Structure formats: structure tokens, C-alpha cells
Amino acid sequence: YYMSEKINTEVLIVGSGISGLLVGLELSKKYSVMILSKSKINECSTAWAQGGIAAAIGKSDDINNHVKDTVNNGHGICDMKSVKNIIKNSERSINLLQKQGVSFNKKGNKLDQTLEGGHSTRRIVYHNDNTGEEIHTSLLKKAEANKNITIKEDFMAIDLIGKKENLCQGLYAYDGLSESVVTICSNVVILATGGANKVYQYTTNPDTSTGDGIAMAWRFGCTITNMEFMQFHPTCLYHSTEKSFLISESLRGEGARLLNPDGKYFMSQYDKRMELAPRDVVARAIDTEMKNKNYKCVYLDITFKDEDYIKKRFPNIYRRCLELGIDITRQAIPVVPAAHYTCGGIKTNVSGQTECINLFAIGECAHTGFHGANRLASNSLLECSVMAIECSKIIENNYKLFHINHNLPLWDESYVTIPRDENILISHNWGEIRKIMWDYVGILRSNKMLRQAKERLAIINNEVNEFYNNHRISLDLLELRNLINIAEIITHSALQRKESRGLHFNKDYPESNSVYEKCTDVVNTKKDYIMKIVSKA
């Protein structure tokens, strides 16, 4: 059996992307901070981000323009207070990132800015085509050198715990190296676990995006908002071995065009903004082209740009494609849409406050109302950094922290008798969930598809619960349990929205309906706020 252990910390952060690292660095000035990362520290969406960060700092731009573009993209259901608050703070977060060592491309002595879909002007601050890697390595360097920050790799949060309803006092975490479960008691817990895009068969995201924080918060009793709005990026590389390589929207920002396999441009048939229409429009157009004409992929062409320019502006995309036999200076790039971003999440304000005491959620796992029914390109890293700053401020202002031993019970698996075998049940269900979601709850939905998905997911849910209750845990099993929760929450939310709006398109209700000009909330009625293990025993 596992050896159980207990650890205390003042601040516990789950996740080592931009949100987790930045809030950790801010809070380390005052508190002892522990950051958990369920796999290797640099496996997160942040490190893979390409395009950049939206910030209305250019001469020809202002905050009101950025607000207007964000709200237009959000199709009527953005939270104005959050939108204004986040955008107002964009210059501050760019400055803070630079102070933490992040370098952005410059034009003369000013920051250069690029363009992406849905933006009315060049607004995206960037570092070549690997903005995320630059941010992540810079922040990580600072965090690793910081004596008040302890980073625990291969530590996966399982479930939140607290001795009273709505009170969070820590969590159970699975230490992948020793294969044991640790009880971590903390004064505050900050979920910074990223998105849930791995719930789809095809995704631009790293393996870490299994929606763990959202599923944990849901099991704990938090409201989960707007999960029907899963964003599909129009241009993921179509390749037999490289399945999750993004071809940045900034290529289209710099003029790249979409072609079908017959060599014809097609975006003008769908939207007058063509390649620079918002993502929901472009992804749906590609999906329609592919389905109607049975194409396996479409093509993105940037060959008409100067070769040196392409190599200099998009060095990583150029290199990676070349390794795979595609010279993007001479050939159009085969692309398909893939699940990219989770607009919904744990209901919070911009400071990351949830409905539970001492529990915060920031970044992609949170829902502030900033994105509404469709996120504007490069607004995510912005939201992550502003939330990290605001979250650290509210904690500093409200908590006199000290070590408390909450005396939480140790994890007990003594009655679990079945060893970790039958891996095929886990891998089969993983694959099945992701395929059901792709086929039935994807870019194009219908009532029939959604109902079928619901029925099939319910069967898998029973199987996963049964398996979880009787088997020793593993990382895959824990992720599977989160994925099935997420799949059901998305499907349930999509069924509730009987209209089409932004990223949610249901062909039985192809128009939007003002009755649904509001958010979709999902709450778990069986709150497992103590810990599953006690209710199980």
C-alpha cells in the first residue's frame, strides 16, 4: 500500500504555466509558496503559445478599441466589468513580464505589434513565433531561483479537501515518482491548471490539458460556467505523426491565405473579413469545406512572402515544418481545425475568487466573463497575467497567513484491493470519450448528436467510477476521471443552450436567441466536499 504523508504550506498553487508561475512569483514576496506540476514543469499550454499577447498600447490604438473587439467577438455575453478591468491592466502586465525577464520583439525602441483575427488593428505583442516559450523560460528561471518557492514536479492534484462545506483547506496529490498520495494543507489554494482541450480527439494542446482543476472544483461544489464554448483553432498542422502542432494565426495576420485542395481560395464565400474573420467563423468554414467536399485537410499559403522574411518572422514554424518535409517558403501548409481553448471554466472574478473560501482559480481554468462565447486571439495570455496580478493583490490584502495544520485526514486506500491492471479499460475509455466529443460535441452540433453523446458518456461515467473506486490510482486513471466529468459538463451545457452563438453551433437552432443571452452554469449537486475516500470507505 501507499505510504501517506502530510505537508503544510502557506500558499499552494496547482499548475506551472504563466498563471501559476506569475502568481507564485508575486506571492513569494510575502509567503512560502508551493507549486505543483503534474508532469514535467514545462509541459503546459503556456510554453507552446505562439502568436503573442494582446495589449492596446500602440499609438493608433486605445483601450476602448480593444474592449470593442473583445465584446464583438464574445457575441453578447461578455462581462463588461471583467473586460474593462483586464484590458485596462494590459500595459501593466506587459511591463511586469518584461521586469521578470521576458523579451518581446521591438521595432526601433518600441514594442512591435502583430495582427490576428478579430482585432481591428495591430495589437499583439510577441516574441518571434514562440512567445509562450519565451515567457515560460523567463518566469521559470525566476521561480527556480526563488527561495520562497518550492516546485514539485510529477505531483498531480487529485481532489480538494476541507472540513466544512465551501471551505478549502488543501488537497490530495499523487506523487508520480513514489506512487504515493500526499495530503497538502494550505491557507489558500490557487488552481492554475489550464484548459480541458484534451477532451477532444484532435487538439493543439499538450497532454496536460485534461481540465483537472475544473473537474476538481466541480466535484468540490463550485459553479462551472459556459463550458459549451470550446474554441477550435482553424489551423493545426495536418500530419500523420505530428498531431498537435499549431500554425499560428499570426501567419494569417501577416497575409497567409487558405486554399482548398483544388487550389481555390474559399474564405470569401463565408465572411467578408476572409482569413481574418474571428476563429469561430474560420474554423466552421474549414469544417464545412472539408465535410461537404470530403477533403482531409485544407492548405495555408504564405509562399508569396519573401523567403528571408518568413524564416526570420516564423523561425520555429519554418524549422518544425521543414523537419516534417514541408518547406513553408515554397509549399502551402496542410491544416485542419483542432480543439484549442476552453472559454468556460470555474466561475470567478478577475481576482480569481471562487464561491469557496480560500479557493482561487486563475487563467484558462477560470471563467471571468472576459471571452464570452468566443475568445479573441491572444486575449488568453493577457487574462492569465492580469488575473495572476489581481489574485496576488487580493490575497496579500486579505490574508494574514501562517502555517496551520488543518489536521486533515491522510489518504486511505487500505480497502482498495485490485492492483493497477486492466490498463486497456483506461485507454479504451480515454479514446472513446475523445472521439465522442469530437464527432458529436465538436464544431458542428445537433440535438440528436448531443443526446447520443450524453447517453454514451453516462455509460462510460459509470464504468470509470466503478474502476476508480476499486483500483489503485495512476496518473492516467485520475486524468480519465477528470475527462469524463468535463465531457459530461460540456455536453450538458451544450444541451441547455438551445440556440447558436459564437463557438456553439447547433444546426437545429442555427440562429441566436435573446433568451439565451446569458451564461450557462453547471453545479454538482452531490458535493464531495470532504473527501471521496471517506465517503467511499
Assess 363 for contact with ligand FAD (CB under 6 A): yes
Nearer of residues 160 and 230 to ligand SIN, judged by Cβ: 230
Contact 247, 254 (CB under 8 A): no
Buried b (16+ CB within 10 A) or exposed e, 93-125: bbebbeebebebbeeeeebebbbbbbbeeebbb
Please give the distance of CA 289 from its chain centroid, rounded to a whole number: 27
Task: Please give the residues from 361 up to 390 whose contact with ligand SIN meets the rule CB under 6 A.
Answer: 377-378, 380
Could you identify the residue written with the cell 486511505? 412
Q: Closest separation between CB of residue 54 and ligand SIN, Å?
A: 8
Nearby residues of 507 by Cβ (< 8 Å), 6 or more positions away: 444, 445, 446
Q: What is the rounded CA–CA span in Å between residue 444 and residue 448?
A: 12
Site string for ligand SIN, 210-249 (x = CB under 6 A): ------------------------------------x-xx
> From residue 136, how far is each of 13, 46, 112, 512 by CA, in Å?
16, 7, 20, 39
Assess 161 for contact with ligand FAD (CB under 6 A): no
Residue 198's closest CA among 181, 219, 215?
215
Among 83, 102, 157, 310, binds ligand FAD (CB under 6 A): 157
Q: Which does 16 bind (CB under 5 to 8 A by kind): ligand SIN, ligand FAD, none?
A: ligand FAD
Could you identify the residue written with the cell 477528470? 482
Among 9, 100, 131, 235, binds ligand FAD (CB under 6 A): 131
Catalytic (active-site) positions: 279
- Binding span for ligand FAD by CB under 6 A among 16-24, 408-416, 498-506, 528-536: 16-24
Nearer of residues 115 and 246 to ligand SIN, judged by Cβ: 246
Q: Closest separation between CB of residue 130 and ligand SIN, Å?
A: 10
Q: Closest separation between CB of residue 348 and ligand SIN, Å?
A: 20
Q: Taken in order 500, 504, 508, 510, is the CA torsion positive or negative?
A: positive
Helices 212-220 and 475-496: crossing angle, nearest 10°?
70
Lateral strand order in the sheet of 224-225? 366-367, 345-347, 224-225, 521-522
Assess 49 for contact with ligand FAD (CB under 6 A): yes
Q: Closest separation between CB of residue 212 and ligand FAD, Å?
A: 3
Q: What is the rounded CA–CA span in Å between residue 13 and residue 406?
A: 17
271 burial type by CB count under 10 A (0-12 exposed, 13-18 middle, 19+ buried): middle
Q: Which does 44 bind (CB under 5 to 8 A by kind): ligand SIN, ligand FAD, none?
A: ligand FAD
Q: Closest separation between CB of residue 112 and ligand SIN, Å?
A: 15
Task: Please give the residues from 49 up to 88 whose contact with ligand SIN meets the rule CB under 6 A.
Answer: 50-51
Q: What is the rounded CA–CA span in Å between residue 455 and residue 446?
A: 14
Among 205, 351, 358, 500, binds ligand FAD (CB under 6 A): 205
> From residue 101, how far is each of 43, 104, 142, 484 by CA, in Å?
20, 10, 8, 39
Assess 384 for contact with ligand FAD (CB under 6 A): yes
E strand or H helix that includes residue 435: helix 423-440
Nearby residues of 129 by Cβ (< 8 Å), 6 or more positions away: 50, 51, 248, 250, 313, 314, 315, 316, 317
Q: Which does 335 bind (CB under 5 to 8 A by kind): ligand SIN, ligand FAD, none?
A: none
Assess 531 for contact with ligand SIN (CB under 6 A): no
Assess 354 for contact with ligand SIN (CB under 6 A): no
- Binding span for ligand FAD by CB under 6 A among 176-184, 200-208, 219-227, 264-272: 200-208
Q: Taken in order 91, 96, 99, 104, is the CA torsion positive or negative?
A: negative
Assess 385 for contact with ligand FAD (CB under 6 A): no
Q: Closest separation between CB of residue 379 and ligand FAD, Å?
A: 6
Q: Which does 204 bind (CB under 5 to 8 A by kind): ligand FAD, ligand SIN, none?
A: ligand FAD
Bridge-based pairing state of the strands 224-225 and 106-107: unpaired
Assess 235 for contact with ligand FAD (CB under 6 A): no
Q: Closest separation between CB of residue 482 and ligand FAD, Å?
A: 7
Q: Would you list the DSSP string of 179-247?
A: TEEEEEEEEEEEE-----GGGSSSBSS-TT-S-HHHHHHHHHT--EE-TT-EEEEEEEE--SS--S-B-
Nearer of residues 48 and 411 to ligand SIN, judged by Cβ: 48
> From residue 234, how far is each of 149, 215, 276, 301 by CA, in Å?
38, 27, 11, 14
Nearer of residues 115 and 151 to ligand SIN, judged by Cβ: 115
Nearby residues of 463 by Cβ (< 8 Å), 6 or more positions away: 425, 429
Q: Which does 85 bind (CB under 5 to 8 A by kind): ligand FAD, ligand SIN, none?
A: none
Q: Closest separation between CB of residue 41 and ligand SIN, Å?
A: 22
Assess 250 for contact with ligand SIN (CB under 6 A): yes
Closest-by-Cβ residue to ligand SIN is 51
Assess 193 for contact with ligand FAD (CB under 6 A): yes
Assess 341 for contact with ligand FAD (CB under 6 A): yes
- Binding residues for ligand SIN, rule CB under 6 A, total 9
Residues that bind ligand SIN (CB under 6 A): 50-51, 246, 248-250, 377-378, 380
Binding residues for ligand FAD, rule: CB under 6 A, are: 14-20, 36-39, 43-46, 48-53, 131-132, 156-157, 192-194, 204-205, 208-209, 212-213, 246, 341, 363-364, 378-381, 384
